[in-house]
A and B are shown apart, each in its own frame.
Chain A
């Protein structure tokens, strides 16, 4: 901008001022870019205007000209030849001279005035205009006219012009008045000045109201001066305006002469008003004054003596015809040579080079009015669209014209296409609306399944995919249902869609489902808590109330938007999930059927849960999940199996906190039956049972939500422990590059106890079974070379443990051997994998606990546990499930590290934060849900803190031999038992206080702090080592 300003400052004088001002931006642009980039753009714009001029088909062609001229003024602030402004003006003016509708159009009048101003004889123009009736209703004409007269010194005339204006009722009248007043003020000031100067008395006192003829007379050569000094009030005395390129001086005497002449005439005529003199004018000024060359024009002294130039100079214009004297305009007009734009040779009217001399005298006006006839007179007919070629200011060629037509047509076609597409879209939308209405009618009667059939044919329009609210049932008469009902039909429709719908549809369902839940959670927390206790299905509808309220707007949203809201879980939805889920689902709830509810709750919290499952993990409100993870007292029940069947959109609803106690039992039982990956969770099963049998512990380590076998493959991406997310991680990693990873194309070999397993190059004797589950079996084994191995047989083709162990080894280096085994190999089969881990392990810690270890031993174990976890955390692995039954005690090999008796082999809940960056907080971990529900963790805590709590529980077990209950006091968590009776109680207190309230500290540092803490206890008794050896 600064540069632009500088330019402006430098060439202010070159800028033609505009009455209405110049846009500073255009000014800068014009000044700074004389050539180059701006040039091309200007040319393009010009071309556009030119073509618009030719192809315009509307009612107001003046508009095009007007805009073109305005643009030209702005773009060419210095005026000049290139702007063609004068040509433009002239053309525009001439073009509409016959169209009376424009005669009093202010734009047209302004064009005329501008044209007049830039000509050499504006007065002629004004007279002509007045005669033609152009602008007689416009104040602008009178103002400009009288200004011109004033400049010429003819104030009397000027005033008469004003009077004329008043008489004609020119608009806007107040403007006219204003200018008139100003004019009179000027005149009187001048008169006063003259009076003072000359000391002469004017016969008439200057009275603005009177025609100022007398004063004018006096203003003429004053007494002192006899010379006819031109008292041309130009410049300062008169409001200045741009005279273009006119020369003032030569005209001054001329004008002075003129004014004198005129005044003289009027005096003699003794006409009272100016009206009378004006009358002859219309007769005299029938033709518009010719345009003049603006510069380089010879101003002939005697018009009769001027010769017509024979030939134009190369590349330059014809010399304009001689200007006519003012006093014989009539004669002049006839003799006017054709109107020629001086700059360009206008072939249409160029008679200079014509082989035919103008045969008769034509006024330009006549020529304009009857161009065809003129041509006809000349006996020639142009067989082409001459007018179009030359109707603009610059010429066009045939191809340009055709190109413009082509562009226009192309634009039209494009518009039509767009319109058509819009119509199609509208049409489809309408269809969907109709179908939706139809569904609404049908919904009350039919059951889900029927509805599904009915809607089979519905066009799958992802655009309006609504989340499949599981609840198609209409329950209760809660006012909230109103909203529910609105989209209930469509939701049920969605719910019951037959499988053959395309995946994107499902995906949208899911996505739509998932997204609203988050909103739902935020907005309806309050309501939820109220509903918590009620187990009626009535809850569900009300649950879905806010849901649908949210969903409604979403329903209108295009699918893309929904999907793009980042609901990753959706894509992994497969038809299987939906099929299996709703096939068995009963859509009509019995309000009192808590089993249904329980099942739903369970499923709601499973990662799969149809579309909503993803939500389960991602919603991180853990509303559904907590129930799963809550501990239940009841043993495993068969209920889970049907619960599994239920998958379903009920799940979706679960959004709210379900009663922890009852449901949890079902969940847990379910868990143990089918802990997906943790088929090999050592002692998982037994551990679960053990845990169950012990007193209900609220802070039970979270179980990773069990995934029923059949739905195992439908886990949402959002559950980082799910099969699919692990598969993803593994697919990113090249498993084959790990040492000891063997791929086979066979199916899983049979592994039976007390049998030999031939695997790889090994033959292993399978010993006792540690744990067996639906997803895997774990055995102890012994190789031929008498090495103890732990054999894990997974029925899933996701060798997660192997992967984690390998990662630990690679990330920790040799340190890993202390706690994580020194060698493992994995054999990958078509339908499963077998992982061998070397290391003689005895039993899970759980078993050891039952033997009531000494406190010192507990301390030592604690320390080891802490160190182990510190190692894991330091390489960005979250274990996720530290419990007495997942930690192994191992046999100390001779020569091995004496201090490490713990070993971790079960990584079924492990999450690799390197490869799974989507796990960003504890809320993402399924195993953390219980803690979150309790409040020990918040959804945004670091995922590592899950392990801290796991450690806390384990240690508590070790120390106190009972499960830990925590309570929140003074904004801190602490175990209910305050260790007052325990040895080193205060240390333990501090320990638990630290571990349960990690805050934002990094867990690695916390763990090392705790280690130091525990050291203090440890060192107290040196006999610990002996103690430990005793046991092992």
Chain B
């Protein structure tokens, strides 16, 4: 199972992990945000923690702006940027409610944050300062950047597509194809569409092109369900991450499994072993060689005893991630 291709990171966070992100330029560095109010930078190769900085409250998401700057936000409602070379913090701005998502859009060179105050805010990373506040119809639960477009998943199962270069209006208003709360949205690397997961063991693959022919291609499938004693146990699908090269994606659910899917052939490519507890976050490195798996209980079933939270680094092979060409 866990051969030499997988190991656990040392000096992990002391509480649940909320997000893991690889550096955009290398598979060497991994940024981890946690419910213990810290954001840590790990040297994956050396399996050590390099930098740690604090927020005032649990951190819900983090992202790289460039290999030397990390941005993070959480329950303290503050958006912080940290210079990883000088180990200096700066508070860039705030939301009116906890910040749920932090993403970077390279094409437009803007940081995007979504918050439970029903707004998405853009930030200019160079200054850094606020570049706009955009109200969403509901609390923002997840967001993803596809080229120069922004896909926002909110409460009430809504999905909004914005054009980052023109935020005056919503480009598309959609409703999630799944009938349960949206858990995670990730855009295809080819920017054609996005994958949406819900809390009821289902994943939908959707396309951005509103034309009918394209829209016909969308579909949804069940996953992360376990059958036990004749009863199907349905788990939330918490994490999605795309392989940048192959356009395949991995999903992680509260059942502790990681599956890798081929969206074009509608097949599952691989399932890893079961991890000790729920998968909170997944991240492929930029070259697709490494997958970071945050196995951390998310209190889906209340505040109970759970296995220790940990981050696993796994070297993935083509066999696991490349679509079978049949």
Contacts and interface: CB of A to CB of B under 8 A. Distances in A.
A403 to B, nearest CB: 5
B57 interface: yes
A353 interface: yes
B276 to A, nearest CB: 16
Nearest to B183: A397
A44 B97 contact: yes
B35 A315 contact: no
A376 interface: yes
A381 interface: yes
A398 interface: yes
A46 to B, nearest CB: 10
Contacts of B232: 379-381
A12 interface: no
B96 A44 contact: yes
Interface string A16-38: 00000000000000000000000
Given A380-B232, A381-B231, A383-B234, A400 B116 contact: yes
B199 A402 contact: no
B181 A347 contact: yes
Contact of B298 (A344, A376, A382, A402): A402
Given A397-B141, A397-B155, A384 B100 contact: no
Given A40-B96, A399-B100, A383 B301 contact: yes
Interface string B7-37: 0000000001010000000000000000100
A350 interface: yes
Given A44-B96, A399-B100, A383 B235 contact: yes
B221 to A, nearest CB: 12
B236 interface: yes
B58 A384 contact: no
Contact of A315 (B18, B175, B234): B175
Nearest to A351: B179
A399 B302 CA distance: 11
A47 B116 contact: yes
A399 B141 CA distance: 9
A389 B199 contact: yes
Interface string A556-583: 0000000000000000000000000000
Given A47-B116, A315-B158, A384 B301 contact: yes
B213 interface: no
Given A43-B118, A384-B254, A345 B96 contact: no
Contacts, number: 98
Interface string A682-698: 00000000000000000
Given A384-B300, A385-B300, A402 B235 contact: no
A386 to B, nearest CB: 8
> Which residue, A376, A380, A398, A401, has most C-beta atoms of chain B within 10 A?
A398
B258 interface: no
A654 to B, nearest CB: 57
Interface in B160-181: 173-175, 179-181
Interface residues of B, number: 44
A402 B35 contact: yes
Nearest to A390: B181
> Which residue, B57, B100, B236, has most C-beta atoms of chain A within 10 A?
B236
Contacts of A397: 139, 141, 155, 181, 183
Contacts of A389: 181, 199
Contact of B236 (A315, A347, A398): A398
Contacts of B199: 384, 389, 398
Contacts of A406: 35, 57-58, 75
Contacts of A189: none
Nearest to B98: A403
A40 B117 contact: yes
A24 B230 CA distance: 58
Interface in B289-323: 298-303
B103 interface: no
Contacts of A381: 231-234
Contact of B233 (A40, A354, A383, A407): A383
Interface in B95-139: 96-98, 100, 116-118, 139
A405 interface: yes
B39 interface: no
A395 B60 CA distance: 19
A236 interface: no
Interface string A341-368: 0001101001001100000000000000
Contacts of B298: 398-399, 402
Contacts of A405: 299, 303
Contacts of A383: 233-236, 254-255, 300-301
A967 B43 CA distance: 95
B157 interface: yes
Contacts of B230: 379
A344 B231 contact: no
Contact of B174 (A314, A347, A354, A401): A314
B222 to A, nearest CB: 10
B228 to A, nearest CB: 8
B181 A345 contact: no
A997 interface: no
Contacts of A380: 231-234
B206 interface: no
Interface in B207-255: 230-236, 254-255
B99 to A, nearest CB: 11
A382 to B, nearest CB: 5
Contacts of A354: 179
Contacts of B58: 403, 406
Contacts of A525: none
Contacts of B181: 347, 389, 395, 397
> Which residue, A44, A347, A388, has most C-beta atoms of chain B within 10 A?
A347
Contacts of B180: 347
Given A43-B97, A314-B174, A402 B299 contact: yes
Contacts of A47: 97, 116
Nearest to A405: B303
Contacts of B35: 402, 406
A608 to B, nearest CB: 51
A214 interface: no
B240 to A, nearest CB: 16
Contacts of B100: 399
B173 A315 contact: yes
B179 A350 contact: yes
A394 interface: yes
A391 B145 CA distance: 32
Contacts of A399: 18, 60, 100, 298
B175 A314 contact: yes
> Which residue, B60, B255, B299, has most C-beta atoms of chain A within 10 A?
B299
B264 to A, nearest CB: 24
A394 B254 contact: no
A40 B119 CA distance: 10
A382 B174 contact: no
A376 B200 CA distance: 15
B156 interface: yes
Nearest to B303: A405
Nearest to B199: A384
A384 B175 contact: no
A382 B234 contact: yes
Contacts of B139: 397, 400
Interface in A109-165: none
Across chains A and B, which 3 residue pairs bring their CB atoms closest together, nearest first? A384-B300, A40-B96, A353-B179
19 contacts: A47-B97, A314-B174, A315-B158, A344-B156, A345-B156, A347-B157, A347-B200, A354-B179, A380-B231, A380-B234, A384-B199, A384-B254, A384-B300, A388-B302, A402-B298, A402-B299, A403-B98, A406-B35, A406-B75
Interface of A: 40, 43-44, 47, 314-315, 344-345, 347, 350, 353-354, 376, 379-385, 388-389, 394-395, 397-403, 405-407
Given A384-B301, A406-B35, 6 more contacts: A383-B301, A389-B181, A397-B183, A398-B199, A402-B35, A407-B75
